[in-house]
Amino acid sequence: MKTTTHKITLLNTLLLFTYFGFVILMMGIVLQYIPAGTDTAFLGIKQDYINIQWYLPAFYIHVFTAILALPAGFTQFSKYIQKYFKPFHRINGRIYVFSILVLGAPSGFIIGLYANGGLSSQLAFCILAVLWWWFTLQAYTNARKKNFVAHKIWMYRSFALTLSAITLRAWKWTLIEIFHPRPMDVYMIVAWLGWGLNLVIAEIIIYKKIKK
Amino acid sequence: MKQISFITLLFFVVSCTNEKNKTGNISSNFSFASSTVNIHTFKNEFGIEGYYTGYFEASQYDEKKDVMYTNKITISIDSLSETVCYGHSIVAGNMRPFKGTYAKSDDNIFKVNAKEPGDDKYDGAFTFEINANAKKIKGNWKSNDQNLAVTEREYELELRTFVYNPDLELPEYLTYEGLYGTYKETDTSSIAESLTDDIFKYNASKVLLKTKDVENMYQADLEVLRNSIYARHGYSFKNRKMRFLFDHAVEWYMPVSINITKSLTPIEKQNIELLKRYEQHAVKYYDSFGR
């Protein structure tokens, strides 16, 4: 029996562990918003906006539900699970799709309208939200139509944007460690870099794995 | 009679505040309510009452301990009777009353020997001469506690009037000052955290700051902008970093008070709140992964 497709490589393991570490960090970020306040963490510098009707509900929906998309990274790309645990793949996939289409992306769009750093970052976060929603929808409808190659392609794109929650923060940390930039300057940079580069990498993966 | 009531009062206060008031400034045995005194109003009866400001420099110290070599001090000559001189000093966030005898010489020099109450760790005795003609004070101070990092200090102070003036600006060379405590002498590779020109952009005592004015500023600049408000009110800094900066690099700065909250203007109060918010955010999240 050939097991090459199910082989767990060292690189994969390493990536999974790194991802696990970042997911834990992300959970820590979410947990600091319990109990929910109007002054907690990020909201400390959003005081001009918290009185806008939609802002706080959207913010908290985003904080508490967008994270539901992250566990997909552990399971959904595994060919083994795709093959032998189909119902699991489907249930987990539905959680992912629902959390993004109904909660994470729309709430992200609303808070994106009030992003720090002016028009540039507002555009960055709103485009991110729209693309995230669109890619995920495409991935879902293609799965329903059993177009699994297209499903896979769109999922690479969708997950690339899901990952921006982590890469945006990682880039911010890295740039600050190296260049010590001003807080809002770095924010405007990572607002684009956080997901733009992910999308480029996703397209490269798609090209190499599927389209060749 | 006076003596008796004084002793009863002393007993009362000591028995009440024995536990909690170790660092407080209420000293019942001095006719001085320092905790409520903000800016002193002087009656000029002897021609020497007033604020004298200058550097309080360590002359006897233990190098192995945490020595703060120079602080800016204000000695206030509050009032005099025929034999007794009443005053208080404000230095390093500490306001302490003193009381002592004095002798006036023919050339208009007052020699004062005064003691602080003795219930504070940093209390001691002042010996100085007030030159009424030159409007200067020169003398020394010896601590009661011989185990302190600094047990003796010297000073030459000049008479100076304190007036709150919102127009006072931070001096241009402030950005060249390394911030105290942000670099270690042993670690030559690290660079001192420095200030940027942002601190000259706004006078936080005059202009109501908005989010967009401060959101792109570094924490150090925000902190200096906020503390410049306190400095204009003559606040004596406990915080070493700010004290070092304002004591040494801001000529107009003179410490006269340890509680200035009541004298802040509405603009200043709002600015303090905004600046503090962004400072706290910067401290917590600027170089962290998440928020």
Say if the Cβ atoms of B289 and A169 lie within 8 Å. Answer: yes
What the block records as the tokens of A124 is 């960055």
For chain A, the residues whose C-beta falls within 8 A of a C-beta of chain B are: 25-26, 28-29, 41-42, 44-45, 47-48, 116, 169-170, 172-173, 176-177, 182-185
What ipTM goes with this model?
0.89
Residue to test with chain B: of A24, A62, A172, A185, most B Cβ within 10 A: A172
Number of cross-chain residue pairs from A and B with Cβ atoms under 8 Å apart: 45
Do B195 and B98 share a structural domain? Answer: no
For B44-99, what is the HEC assignment?
CCCCCCEEEEEEEEEEEECCCCCCCCEEEEEEEEEEECCCEEEEEEEECCEEEEEE
Do B208 and B178 share a structural domain? Answer: yes
Do B178 and B144 share a structural domain? Answer: no
Q: Residue B16 domain-assigned? A: no
Task: Mention every residue, 6+ apart, whose C-beta is less than 8 A from residue B72.
Answer: B53, B54, B55, B56, B91, B243, B246, B247, B248, B253, B254, B255
Do B282 and B243 share a structural domain? Answer: yes
Say if the Cβ atoms of A41 and B285 lie within 8 Å. Answer: yes
Do B284 and B173 share a structural domain? Answer: yes
Determine the pLDDT at residue A210.
82
Determine the pLDDT at residue B255.
97
Do B276 and B210 share a structural domain? Answer: yes
Task: Mention every residue, 6+ apart, whose C-beta is less than 8 A from residue A111.
Answer: A55, A58, A59, A62, A125
What is the Cα–Cα distance from B288 to A174, expressed in whole angstroms? 10
- State the DSSP code for B236: P
Chain A residue with the nearest C-alpha to that of B220: A182
Q: Residue B29 domain-assigned? A: no
Contacts of residue B288 in chain A, CB cutoff 8 Å? 173
| Structural domain count, chain B | 2
Do B267 and B228 share a structural domain? Answer: yes
Do B119 and B172 share a structural domain? Answer: no
CATH code (residue B136): 2.40.128
What is the Cα–Cα distance from B14 to B111, expressed in whole angstroms? 31
For B264, the 3-state DSSP assignment is coil
Say if the Cβ atoms of B277 and A28 lie within 8 Å. Answer: no
The alpha carbon of residue A194 is apart from the nearest alpha carbon of chain B, in Å, by 13
> A186: closest CA among A141, A108, A135, A121?
A121
> A165: closest CA among A195, A145, A205?
A195
Do B246 and B156 share a structural domain? Answer: no
What is the Cα–Cα distance from A178 to A8, expressed in whole angstroms? 35
Say if the Cβ atoms of A44 and B288 lie within 8 Å. Answer: no
Determine the pLDDT at residue A7.
64
Continuous H helices in B233-265 = 240-249
Q: What is the pLDDT along chain A (212 residues), one digit of tens a residue?
A: 444 555 678 888 999 999 999 999 999 999 999 988 898 889 989 999 999 989 999 999 999 999 999 999 899 998 889 889 999 999 999 999 999 999 999 999 999 999 999 999 999 999 999 999 999 999 999 999 999 999 999 999 999 999 999 999 999 999 999 999 999 999 999 999 999 999 999 999 999 988 76
Nearest to A41 among B215, B287, B291 (CB): B291
Say if the Cβ atoms of A173 and B216 lie within 8 Å. Answer: no
Say if the Cβ atoms of A169 and B218 lie within 8 Å. Answer: no
Determine the pLDDT at residue B126.
98
Q: Residue B33 domain-assigned? A: no
What is the Cα–Cα distance from B250 to A178, expressed in whole angstroms? 32
Q: Residue B226 domain-assigned? A: yes
What is the Cα–Cα distance from B10 to A168, expressed in whole angstroms? 63
Do B56 and B155 share a structural domain? Answer: yes
Contacts of residue A170 in chain B, CB cutoff 8 Å? 289
Do B267 and B184 share a structural domain? Answer: yes
Determine the pLDDT at residue B33.
46
The alpha carbon of residue A30 is apart from the nearest alpha carbon of chain B, in Å, by 8
Q: Is the peptide bond before A106 cis (omega within 30 degrees of 0)?
A: no
What is the Cα–Cα distance from A97 to A85, expressed in whole angstroms? 18
Concatenated DSSP letters of B169-218: ---GGGGGSBPTTSS-TT-TTSPPPB--GGGGT--TTTS---HHHHTTS-
The last residue of one of the domains, among B160, B180, B212, is: B160
Read off the pTM: 0.85
Q: For chain B, which ranges sit under pLDDT 50?
A: 1-29, 31-36, 183-192
Contacts of residue A24 in chain B, CB cutoff 8 Å? none
- State the DSSP code for B235: B
Q: Residue B22 domain-assigned? A: no
Do B169 and B278 share a structural domain? Answer: yes
Task: Mention every residue, 6+ apart, whose C-beta is less than 8 A from residue B244.
Answer: B179, B180, B181
Nearest to A183 among B215, B277, B280 (CB): B215
The alpha carbon of residue B282 is apart from the nearest alpha carbon of chain A, in Å, by 8
For residue A1, the one-letter residue type is: M
Q: Residue B263 domain-assigned? A: yes
Q: Residue B211 domain-assigned? A: yes
Determine the pLDDT at residue B178.
64
Range of the domain at B284: 5-9+165-289
What is the Cα–Cα distance from A212 to A156, expressed in whole angstroms? 16
The last residue of one of the domains, among B160, B184, B211, is: B160
The last residue of one of the domains, among B103, B129, B160, is: B160
Q: Residue B42 domain-assigned? A: no
DSSP run (H or E) holding B23: none
What the block records as the tokens of A25 is 């960090």
Chain B residue with the nearest C-alpha to that of A185: B216
What is the Cα–Cα distance from B197 to B176, expressed in whole angstroms? 10
Determine the pLDDT at residue B290.
81
